[in-house]
Amino acid sequence: MSTTSGVATGEFAQGKPPLDPGKRKSLHDGSGRKAAVLIAPTIVLLAIVILYPVISAVSQSFTKDAGLDPATGMFVQGGFAGVTNYKLWLLQDCGSGAFSCPPGTLGSQFWTATGVTFLFTVVAVSLETLLGFTFALVMHRKFKGRAILRASVLVPWAIPTAVTAKLWYFIFAYDGIANKILGTEILWTGDGWPPKAAIIIADTWKTAPFMALLILAGLQVIDESVYEAAKMDGATAWQRFKHITLPLVRPALMVAVLFRTLDTLRMYDLPKILTGGAGDTSTLSMLVVDQVRTGFNAASALSTLTFLIVFAVAFIFIKFLGANVTEQRAPKTKKAA
């Protein structure tokens, strides 16, 4: 199926002259049209499911939430809000100036939630990357029973998040198996550091396989002859890892890290089921859900802010960490320096 349509679109695009007469005739015109045809389905799908909700969220974030009419006791439409909904989150302004939201209101939790979301993301993604890379290196080796290893690495990833969260909730209960094995009496879903550790452990367990799979695939497209050549040149194992494996696996690694980061920044199910937000473990997405139940417009502002925060992280990633998948690599040098 992909064969025929790929060919068809290719010929179609090439056979036709550029429609826009003002356009410079160049090699790029033909591939531009072809590219447009190839990319269009993706864009259309994303527009329906993502772009429409994003636009509607942004527009609704400038409307006040419905308020109660004291005379009738019924809700009435809120009217234009200006940036009130944004001030609620950014300045924790519940109506009487900055930081007027008392503890226990959602408005007071924006920065805490942002902080804890970043904490989860930084710690969990780092651990997942380290573990995932290690898993992938071991999985890449040839030895008997490799299939079993691959399957067992993937088990955590295969269990639906909702079940994973329940499983860990069960494991981390006070009278649960974790405390029994460790011989501790830790309140894993209570206050302080344990709930944060519990969430990070459960998330790392669940998603390290994702990293491992992507990195493994990256390892497998590396031509073995590169290693052979490096070995002949007398490169040590560490040198080969540092100068061949790492650079060549980098595109796959960056994609894995980038997507894990974006996903963890939007984490919801796991902390929701595991701790319900106890011990300041409410993530931004949990805050969004709580706010949707209280007022949809302020929630739209919060979704938009979350979007912008995630956007900023992605921006930094691509600008400073080079998570750029289309970057054509210069021809690789042969020798490990």
Tokens 């925060």 belong to which residue? 309
Identify which of 135, 140, 266 has the alpha carbon closest to the alpha carbon of residue 209.
Answer: 135
Asked if residue 82 binds another protein (CB under 8 A), the reply is no
CA distance 14 to 86: 49
CB of 122 to another protein, least distance (A): 18
Q: Select the residue interacting with another protein from 18, 138, 197, 239 (CB under 8 A).
A: 138
CB of 120 to another protein, least distance (A): 14
Nearer to another protein, 21 or 224 (CB): 224
For another protein, the binding residues in 305-324 under the rule CB under 8 A are 306-308, 310-311, 314-315, 318-320, 322, 324
CB of 22 to another protein, least distance (A): 14
Cβ–Cβ under 8 Å, residues 164 and 199:
no
CB of 51 to another protein, least distance (A): 7
Q: What is the DSSP letter of 276?
A: T
Binding mask 218-257 for another protein (x = CB under 8 A): x-xx-xxxxxxx-x-----x--x--x--xxx-xxx-xx--
Identify which of 44, 13, 41 has the alpha carbon closest to the alpha carbon of residue 27.
Answer: 13
Cβ–Cβ under 8 Å, residues 204 and 128:
yes
Element (H, E) at 69: strand 67-69
Identify which of 3, 15, 5 has the alpha carbon closest to the alpha carbon of residue 41.
Answer: 5
For another protein, the binding residues in 11-70 under the rule CB under 8 A are 11, 27-28, 31-32, 34-36, 38-39, 41-43, 45-46, 48-60, 63, 65-68, 70
Sign of torsion, CA 16 22 26 27? negative
Asked if residue 83 binds another protein (CB under 8 A), the reply is no
Structure tokens at 92: 């924790």
Asked if residue 176 binds another protein (CB under 8 A), the reply is yes
Cβ–Cβ under 8 Å, residues 208 and 131:
yes
Cβ–Cβ under 8 Å, residues 284 and 114:
yes
CB of 282 to another protein, least distance (A): 9
Nearer to another protein, 43 or 122 (CB): 43
Tokens 């400073």 belong to which residue? 320
CA distance 32 to 40: 12
For another protein, the binding residues in 256-275 under the rule CB under 8 A are 258-259, 262-263, 266, 268-269, 275
Contacts of 286 (CB under 8 A, 6+ apart): 113, 268, 271, 272, 277
The count of residues interacting with another protein (CB under 8 A) is 183
CB of 246 to another protein, least distance (A): 8
CB of 34 to another protein, least distance (A): 6
Q: Select the residue interacting with another protein from 16, 25, 75, 99 (CB under 8 A).
A: 75
For another protein, the binding residues in 276-305 under the rule CB under 8 A are 276-279, 284-285, 288-290, 292-300, 303
Nearer to another protein, 45 or 122 (CB): 45
Q: Select the residue interacting with another protein from 90, 167, 197, 239 (CB under 8 A).
A: 167
Q: Count CA atoms closer than 13 A to 27's CA, side-chain side.
A: 0
For another protein, the binding residues in 103-132 under the rule CB under 8 A are 103-108, 131
Nearer to another protein, 122 or 322 (CB): 322
CA distance 306 to 291: 13
